[in-house]
Structure 1
Amino acid sequence: MESFIALKSRNFKLFFIGQSVSLLGTWIQKTAIAWLVYKLTGSPFILGLIVFVGLIPTLLLSPYVGSFIERCHKYKVMKNTQWLAALQALLLAILIYLKYYNITAIVLLSLMQGVINAFDVTCRQAMMIDLVDDKEALPNAIALNSAMTNLARVIGPALAGVLLSAFGEDFCFISNFLSFIPVLYCLYLMKLPAFIKNEEEINVLNKLKEGFIYVKSEKRILSQLLLLSFFSLMLIPFTTLLPVLAKEVFNGNSQTFTIFESAVGIGALISAIYMTSLKKMEKLYNSIILSSIIMGIGLGIIAFSHTIWLASIGLVLSGLGMICQSASINTYIQLHTVPEMRSRVISYYIMAFLGMTPIGSLIIGLIAEFLNTRTVLLLEGFLGIFSLSLFVWYNYKIEKELDTELKIINEE
């Protein structure tokens, strides 16, 4: 089938299987830690702080990581990051099992995970093209990877809700540690071409500068990265408020929270399935616009909803818009960036998508300490529609400039 063409590649199939299990464990732990932290502190700001320390390394390190990965064997880097991530998961599981509920320790381990992820995420994205036998299957591989991630986002929180009620938080954290076994096993089964080391002396600062100049010169890529950066700063951190929405706004419990997490995941999964079936890559620009509108509307619905189910519909739309926008931009970058710049541009994409989110989580968490949750969500939705308007205007201006240049060339 066209929608699963990337799975014909043995290496991508192994990657897909291993990551499917690992991401399931990640979402079980992510749900458990958010609920545990809010239960212990009752503070939206502390929730934002946990997200902040877990993702801020991505913002600070991504440009350097992109240049570093360009001269390393990506396969070995990914194996090392998975081992380190398994160690971090084990330490956190031991901490919770011993019921040592120390926020400082949780913050430090979240920071450790953030540093590991800064390398792992960039490496996985840059390595994607090496995992498929047919380069034309790359868009499908990206879309399947997104679908896998978001299916885990649906199932993980639902499982976490059951595990939290039946066995407690410690079982969720132990489950995440165990989920690293299949991903490591699948990684060691892969057969990738031998790595040819570039002996040329590389100046990382010069590489960074070249990457920045390239992004700046590619106006369409630049505009998409700026849009994604703003959404990551001001809209995507709505997920930080889900425990507050569940407990304070709807007077719910851990099950309510997992319903909300799963609703976001369902929307994200629908988006990922859509991306796997997208045949015409020229529709990516339309996907970016439509998904941004859907996310803004979704946040507005949540803000005005007075039932759990109406809020869940808003969360489905928000999740759909969030992932469709980021996946469309990711696919556009992968397809339109010259090979020698791909790792560096991907690092800017990751910085825009994941790197801005921690700052946004801190800002949104702080605002939520003073404004009610509904007002914050409504403000986020409005800012999303406003920023999209600027994006559409800027791209219209780019098209007009290109048309003018083309007419001048034809006249000459």
Structure 2
Amino acid sequence: MSNLEFEPLQFLKAHSKDPGDLSTQIWDCFFSKNGSELVTCGGNSVCITETDSFEYEKLAIKKYYAKDPREMFLTVTETYVDNTWIVIAAGARAEIHLIDGKRNIAFLVDDFQKNTKKKCPINNILIHPDNPSIIICSLNNGSVHILDIGAPTYPNYVTELSPIHQFSIPSEIFSTIYEPESRLFLCATNKGLVGFTKDYEVVTFKLPTKSLQGTTCYDEEELVDSVQNVCNGFIAVKCALHGKIYIFNMNTITCGLRNVLSSTGSSSIQLKPAVTLNWSKTDNYFMSLSYNPYSQLLFCGDDEGCIWIYSLSPDTLYSSSSSGKILDPVHILIWPEVIDKHAVGSKKINLDVYDIVVNKVVMHPRGTYLISSTSNNYVCIWRNETLLKC
């Protein structure tokens, strides 16, 4: 996989009405299930770009702007209810935005915290694995809200947010995933990796602390800023300031999980890395992991505009897990020279490579394109030249 090759196609600044803007952060992005659209969120807007237009100078982009200019979207995801493609976005203003992705119609904007004194940002929205109309909202203050969005359909979209359950984790939640092998929801938090069951029982984990002189201990609290499913029960976890990404095998915790859930006292499950990945030594946080099952590649950006790429096939994971192997990236994609005419023309400081924080990286479902979104208002589209040479 060391012969990976990507060609930069487009570097877009679609999330701001000011073409010279270098400050709007693009926090989240994903490809639709069939790969025909790229969805990105940043500032107070959500953009839906047709992937068929990537190869052309003029892209087909639908934009949705929140009515409140103070909105800052932090998370965006999708669900399909009664054949309706629904894009769901949320962020700093604590509102849920439901958008018909095909028609670019926002049919519901709802604040489910309207009866609380202090609204809290929604950092992550996850679709429940058992029901496409149920969403799990993870908040900045550790509160988790389970809501039903109903079954809205065109043209009337009659629906409302119906609360199902609410509970709290004593930490700030940054992102949440569902891990099917352990049947746990896993949260990246400022106090480590925390999980909860479908019955809302909370589980905590002990992770390796930053190793000193080759030793590893499990005593200190760790800030986990990203957690991601990889394959076959393996997860990737990034602890801030470690310079490492840890791969854990969740298939090995079944007995320990059962004991913790049946215990009356507070206890944690200790996770030992199956594989450790060398990553950037940056002191920046919140650069999210992503995994592409088609290519079996794991991605993570850094604060120099680079994309770190790791090959994590099931064979690699199982063959390395017994030895706790340390792996290097198979490729590091370097930020190219970008001349931003709008920034230069507006006499703003031109892009400095050391200030480019890559918040999120995602690959097309069939591996055709690679997308990175940055803290500098860029959505970067790369073509996978490796596939063209196969």
TM-score (norm 1): 0.24
- Would you tell me which structure has more helix in proportion to its own residues? 1
- Would you tell me which structure has more strand in proportion to its own residues? 2
